Amino acid sequence: MFDDEVYEVTRDEFKGFIDQIKPECFTYEEYGFGNEYGETHEIKVTSTDSTRHFASIKRFYEDENIHYYVYEMPHDDECRPAKSVYQITLNSPEEVAEFFKLLKQTQEKNK
């Protein structure tokens, strides 16, 4: 990104970042290697000319968590417009029931 900074992001942030890059502008390679401490796996996302490292997904040694990293932003000509993403949190069974009721009404109106 700037001055070789690395940002650990959430899975959703990582997905949004990758979704903004045009498919023809990136490639990925999977690496797996081990040492006396265990296995490490990485999926590395790079520019198609392999000159820039956009992001990685990593799993380290015995850590069960998957880590998502962003290293460098794509150039403007490599990006497509960002998609709007909505996240709805429903905290009770009543809210879930009301949500699906409204969704059903909306779908019926759009038929």
Number of domains in the chain: 1
Across the chain, which has 111 residues, the per-10-residue mean pLDDT values are 74 93 94 73 93 93 88 94 81 94 89 74
The reply to whether 57 falls in a domain is: yes
The reply to whether 104 falls in a domain is: no
Provide the 3-class DSSP secondary structure of residue 109.
helix
* pLDDT for residue 81: 84
List the structure tokens of 36. 């006396």
The reply to whether 92 falls in a domain is: no
Sole residue written with tokens 């880590």: 67
* pLDDT for residue 38: 64
The reply to whether 91 falls in a domain is: no
Sheet-wide strand order for 7-9: 7-9, 67-70, 53-59, 38-47, 26-35
* pLDDT for residue 6: 85
* pLDDT for residue 37: 59
* pLDDT for residue 2: 46
The reply to whether 58 falls in a domain is: yes
- Identify the domain containing residue 70 by its residue range: 7-84
How far apart CA 58 and CA 91 sit, in angstroms, is 32
- State pTM to two decimals: 0.69
The reply to whether 41 falls in a domain is: yes
The reply to whether 40 falls in a domain is: yes
The reply to whether 38 falls in a domain is: yes
